Structure 1
């Protein structure tokens, strides 16, 4: 009976799917070791046993055991015994261990040998043996053994050389393996794309970032069609620095350049120049640019350039050597120094442009700084369209709604949401990924994994419900607070409850907007105080948020009347451990921050007192459902009177095009908004 039982997989990771196992080079080492051991142990004298000349004369020649002798190289005499000698007691006691008779064969070779003591007088000795022993027979072998002797020396030496070469190749990892730093430590570690090798990423795979793509595509177009620019006397920028928060697509843009450009593309990280040995970083920079110039026109991409591009002279007293500065100096010289550097374009990416050396950012090195910022609403929608291509989604999936639900998310975050949604749908054994899976993925990434089995007492659960209801109520009643999306008291990650809001797409923030956000954040603690007459530690994250907001308003944005229009913002840490203001100003800052927070706390209590019945109704609904949405809040509070309709950017463009009014030119161009937690 045939056994149709399926084979169990090999637990040791053996042959899978009938695939032949790969050859293991360690067998070569084993064979070489066996050969060397055999070469050492083999008795190269064959089956003969060595004796002395006097012993030959006394025990063999005088006993008439000699059949004949063979004189080789005028230095060695091989002795062949006759039948009587082979049967003699002497031979049986002194025969060689390598005698063929031990293997069952006949002994045909010489049984003994001895070295000639005096070659000059050995001829006289032979005559004496012939005279004393009639019938004595001998022969002379005049074969030249020089080649054999030389081969005996060459074979061991050759084996040693081969073993040395193999060991060195294994140590150095071939052309660039893990151990290559031993003998090529000063060589560049750049990954080269060219000659048909590509990243399989094009500009079509980069959604949003239209401004950044336009500048990058111009560089690629110059490399493809240089005459179009040079005929007009234009010079392409020597370098472009991609600056932006993590996950916004800086490295993805570089991959697209490597996939689109038809020139060699050298990609490496800033940390690849860093080594514990002195002078290695500068050597690798020289080698990188040498390779790039040999293959020019070419592009060099250095990711996380802040690893080697930090400003020189900072905290010099804490540094044991100037290896970092030597590497940076060499990079500056290669990018734009005394020598020419035509045909090599430098791309770099960092999210810490504020720490880079000023000499690195000047024109002639990095001529362009391309800002790769967080995507806006339309860009997030385009990013969703790219990452949803390989995912099986339902036909009614509202991608614009997903874009609105992910404000402040980077391209990497959106890619993670799409993947997480597919995992959630697969976990639920669905055939298609639905909208709810994406919403669950957003909650999972923002708040963490649900912990429904977390032990919470009924009293704690009631406190959490009123805390979250307080946030929802105050945010609903404050005009500039972010509109609520969902409130839950199901523990997620390290939080016992959470509220999700939908921030507006805005580039600048006014004082009232920040104050309303602070008031909404203090609504949780205010609800605890109003309902229970006590407060808890559950407002830790809220207090941290409002403290940072208030401190930023006073010390960075100049939004406090007593401190005035002064900013102590120090992104490059120029002040070090010192404060750029007096002790009296520090005390005033502390007072203003505290007063601002306490004022919003009292305001939150006032709002909740005026809507106490609705607060209780909302908290009871939250205790019952555990999760409530915007529609539930509208049933309790009615339609929110402050909801603003976000205008469609395309409609705004059409209105601007049809308008005959003169455009308003802003007098202050420094309207950049720093992130406020």
Structure 2
């Protein structure tokens, strides 16, 4: 019979040991204080002589200082001995019932006992020999228990031979990394990671390094020590690490950067030492540190107090460990962050993180692949087109697409459908981007018309401009914090030219311009439009160098090193020029939008009336009113603009 399934050994918590030692100490002190289970009461020497003279004493045992008194059964029944008649359990007290302090009257005490014995008032008495060993035990046992408890605690605190950094009290200095190996059920593989072809190729090569290191070292190559995954949130950095854990077939240690952070001094550095020691013992191995910016932030930037920074100590230990292994230990460090600009330069240098792998937002082809992965467990309509879904989700990360699929399934179930169809996905995108639809929001007729005119202004201007994204849908149904939204079909661009940015700014200002043209007054409803257009104008002037007066300069620092500067990187005169140019750009596009809307005022009003009636209009309604766009382009994606 196989003995593979052996029962687990009984694990005893150290807290049980601590509690047992404490109880033993208390029990010893309690029982050492009483000579028996009986109720013994101290009495004076004169009272004892009175009991002796009245023939109430049966037996006496004494030593140099004290005597134990045993009463006769008939005397024990007297009322004066009522308090010593029962022992602590309520049974008859077998004695001794009293204790007497003899003091210096030892000879007189013995004489009294002799006289009482001769007179028949005392049955017997005996002298006990004092035990020096007993006195020593009474003194030493509590001390020995305390010393043993102290030694045990110190051994626990000092690690007791535990690996690496397990040398802090209650293992507080041990690494919190989770170990994944061939015994763990890691089901994520590279097949589950859609898109990210370049990043997957780099990661797969790292896995190959660990599987067959001699292939590279035999010709003099060195195994890379680290790879840093950088990219926006939700793009799949952690998913790539999970795929490595499922594919590598080597021990994989996974933890977060915040797992090193602790309130106790030195714990972070201790955990780093323990982590790398465990990895070296199990090499070849991979260490994955998620959100490494929690401990890898640049040193000395925000430590204005001059005090000792525990996070910096942890980072110093991490730097030492990463550059501390030999070239043949076969331990590779993977890390992920979306804040690579704040990481310490020493951490980023070659020899620590040799490779930086940028994980970007997926393009339309990669989004289609991601949809296909997340749609596998969902019961979907036979006619559902993943190409169409990819077009509807521009700028969505992998996590966003997973959320869209889940939200679409929830919407379909809410509507009692047996499969998820195209409309469910469109509703899910609306829900995620725009927020929850608020059909019960109370809007007056005047406000509703103002919102309709505002959104119709966006639609009209964008339809009339060549480089503005053509509109697909407009709605005045409130969603989230927005009272209305316009959805566009922009073309994907790798570079943007000034005329394209100006057309987008003009379309953005179309809503406020429509309010001015129709009502000759403006409202607060254009806040998000003003915020967007101001950012675009400031970027043109200060970042991209697209303004003639400011010139071919940029005040943008991609390294993030100017984050803690106290002043602006330009003079006050330049600041005034920048402010003026930003205002000029915005106002020029605002006036341009007003001019376009005045020329098409009747069409604008017609579009607003249809929008009030239907609440949602589509591209076909605009073509009915305005006709086909003369510069129509084949767009790829849909975004929203409130």
- TM-score by length of structure 2 reads 0.82
Cα deviation for residue 64 of structure 1 reads 3.5
For 1:266 and 1:455, how far apart are their aligned partners in 2?
54
For 1:386 and 1:101, how far apart are their aligned partners in 2?
75
For 2:70 and 2:169, how far apart are their aligned partners in 1?
59
Cα deviation for residue 218 of structure 1 reads 1.3
1:214 matched to 2:201: yes
What stretches of structure 2 of length at least 5 have no aligned partner?
Answer: 1-14
With over 3 angstroms needed to count, the CA separation of the structure-2 counterparts of 1:275 and 1:29, relative to structure 1, is closer
For 1:153 and 1:78, how far apart are their aligned partners in 2?
25
Deviations 1:320-373 (A, max 9, x none): 445554443333232225976832211111112222233322221111110100
With over 3 angstroms needed to count, the CA separation of the structure-2 counterparts of 1:625 and 1:182, relative to structure 1, is farther
Asked if 2 retains the 8 angstrom alpha-carbon contact of 1:527 and 1:605, the reply is yes
> Of the candidates 178, 185, 194, which is equivalent to residue 191 of structure 1?
178
- Measured on the aligned residues, the alpha-carbon RMSD in Å equals 4.3
For 2:72 and 2:308, how far apart are their aligned partners in 1?
85
> Of the candidates 635, 638, 641, which is equivalent to residue 624 of structure 2?
635
Name the structure 1 match of 2:468: 481
| Greater mean deviation of Cα atoms: 41-50 or 223-232 | 41-50
| Greater mean deviation of Cα atoms: 187-196 or 445-454 | 187-196
For 1:601 and 1:97, how far apart are their aligned partners in 2?
105
For 2:264 and 2:205, how far apart are their aligned partners in 1?
39
Name the structure 2 match of 1:58: 50
Name the structure 2 match of 1:16: none
Deviations 1:600-619 (A, max 9, x none): 22332233233333222211
Asked if 2 retains the 8 angstrom alpha-carbon contact of 1:293 and 1:341, the reply is no
Cα deviation for residue 525 of structure 1 reads 1.6
Asked if 2 retains the 8 angstrom alpha-carbon contact of 1:70 and 1:141, the reply is no
Asked if 1 retains the 8 angstrom alpha-carbon contact of 2:181 and 2:251, the reply is yes
With over 3 angstroms needed to count, the CA separation of the structure-2 counterparts of 1:283 and 1:161, relative to structure 1, is closer
For 2:327 and 2:111, how far apart are their aligned partners in 1?
87
For 2:122 and 2:575, how far apart are their aligned partners in 1?
124
Asked if 2 retains the 8 angstrom alpha-carbon contact of 1:305 and 1:350, the reply is yes
Asked if 2 retains the 8 angstrom alpha-carbon contact of 1:417 and 1:445, the reply is yes
For 2:227 and 2:475, how far apart are their aligned partners in 1?
46
| Greater mean deviation of Cα atoms: 586-595 or 350-359 | 586-595
With over 3 angstroms needed to count, the CA separation of the structure-2 counterparts of 1:83 and 1:494, relative to structure 1, is closer
SS in 1 for 2:59: strand
Name the structure 1 match of 2:584: 595
Deviations 1:208-258 (A, max 9, x none): 111111111111122122222223332221111111111111122122222
Asked if 2 retains the 8 angstrom alpha-carbon contact of 1:48 and 1:99, the reply is no
> Of the candidates 286, 293, 304, which is equivalent to residue 306 of structure 1?
293
Name the structure 2 match of 1:626: 615
Deviations 1:388-419 (A, max 9, x none): 22333222222221111000011111122122
Asked if 1 retains the 8 angstrom alpha-carbon contact of 2:222 and 2:327, the reply is no
| Greater mean deviation of Cα atoms: 312-321 or 237-246 | 312-321
Name the structure 2 match of 1:385: 372
User: Which fold has the larger relative contact order, with Cα–Cα distance below 8 Å and residues 6 or more apart in sequence?
Assistant: 2
Deviations 1:57-104 (A, max 9, x none): 4333x33445x42536787655554565456xxx4312443526995x
1:227 matched to 2:214: yes
Asked if 1 retains the 8 angstrom alpha-carbon contact of 2:370 and 2:398, the reply is yes
SS in 2 for 1:559: coil
> Of the candidates 581, 590, 595, which is equivalent to residue 606 of structure 1?
595
Asked if 1 retains the 8 angstrom alpha-carbon contact of 2:505 and 2:589, the reply is yes
Deviations 1:578-616 (A, max 9, x none): 344444443333333333223322332233233333222
For 1:121 and 1:97, how far apart are their aligned partners in 2?
27
With over 3 angstroms needed to count, the CA separation of the structure-2 counterparts of 1:568 and 1:57, relative to structure 1, is closer
> Of the candidates 169, 189, 213, which is equivalent to residue 202 of structure 1?
189
| Greater mean deviation of Cα atoms: 34-43 or 440-449 | 34-43
Asked if 2 retains the 8 angstrom alpha-carbon contact of 1:335 and 1:341, the reply is no
Name the structure 1 match of 2:426: 439
SS in 2 for 1:369: strand
For 1:217 and 1:359, how far apart are their aligned partners in 2?
26
1:549 matched to 2:536: yes
Cα deviation for residue 569 of structure 1 reads 1.9
Name the structure 2 match of 1:559: 546
| Greater mean deviation of Cα atoms: 458-467 or 546-555 | 546-555
Name the structure 1 match of 2:3: none
1:92 matched to 2:79: yes
For 2:40 and 2:553, how far apart are their aligned partners in 1?
104
| Greater mean deviation of Cα atoms: 480-489 or 587-596 | 587-596
SS in 1 for 2:233: coil
| Greater mean deviation of Cα atoms: 346-355 or 618-627 | 346-355
Asked if 2 retains the 8 angstrom alpha-carbon contact of 1:48 and 1:96, the reply is no
| Greater mean deviation of Cα atoms: 142-151 or 522-531 | 142-151
With over 3 angstroms needed to count, the CA separation of the structure-2 counterparts of 1:63 and 1:323, relative to structure 1, is closer
SS in 2 for 1:487: strand
Asked if 2 retains the 8 angstrom alpha-carbon contact of 1:522 and 1:604, the reply is yes
For 2:557 and 2:93, how far apart are their aligned partners in 1?
98
| Greater mean deviation of Cα atoms: 386-395 or 576-585 | 576-585
Name the structure 1 match of 2:61: 71
Name the structure 2 match of 1:8: none
> Of the candidates 260, 273, 288, which is equivalent to residue 247 of structure 2?
260
What stretches of structure 1 of length at least 5 have no aligned partner?
Answer: 1-24, 649-675
Asked if 2 retains the 8 angstrom alpha-carbon contact of 1:76 and 1:116, the reply is yes
Deviations 1:408-446 (A, max 9, x none): 011111122122222323333333333222211111111
Cα deviation for residue 136 of structure 1 reads 4.3
Asked if 2 retains the 8 angstrom alpha-carbon contact of 1:48 and 1:109, the reply is yes
> Of the candidates 520, 534, 537, which is equivalent to residue 507 of structure 2?
520
With over 3 angstroms needed to count, the CA separation of the structure-2 counterparts of 1:418 and 1:53, relative to structure 1, is same
Asked if 2 retains the 8 angstrom alpha-carbon contact of 1:528 and 1:534, the reply is yes
1:498 matched to 2:488: no
For 1:116 and 1:195, how far apart are their aligned partners in 2?
78
For 2:133 and 2:171, how far apart are their aligned partners in 1?
43
Cα deviation for residue 274 of structure 1 reads 3.8
Name the structure 1 match of 2:7: none
For 1:368 and 1:101, how far apart are their aligned partners in 2?
78
Cα deviation for residue 514 of structure 1 reads 1.5
Asked if 2 retains the 8 angstrom alpha-carbon contact of 1:421 and 1:441, the reply is yes
- TM-score by length of structure 1 reads 0.78
Name the structure 2 match of 1:417: 404
Cα deviation for residue 377 of structure 1 reads 0.8
Name the structure 2 match of 1:663: none
Equivalent residues in 2 for 1:313-392, closer than 5 Å: 313-314=300-301, 317=304, 320-321=307-308, 323-336=310-323, 342-392=329-379
1:466 matched to 2:456: no
For 1:581 and 1:50, how far apart are their aligned partners in 2?
93
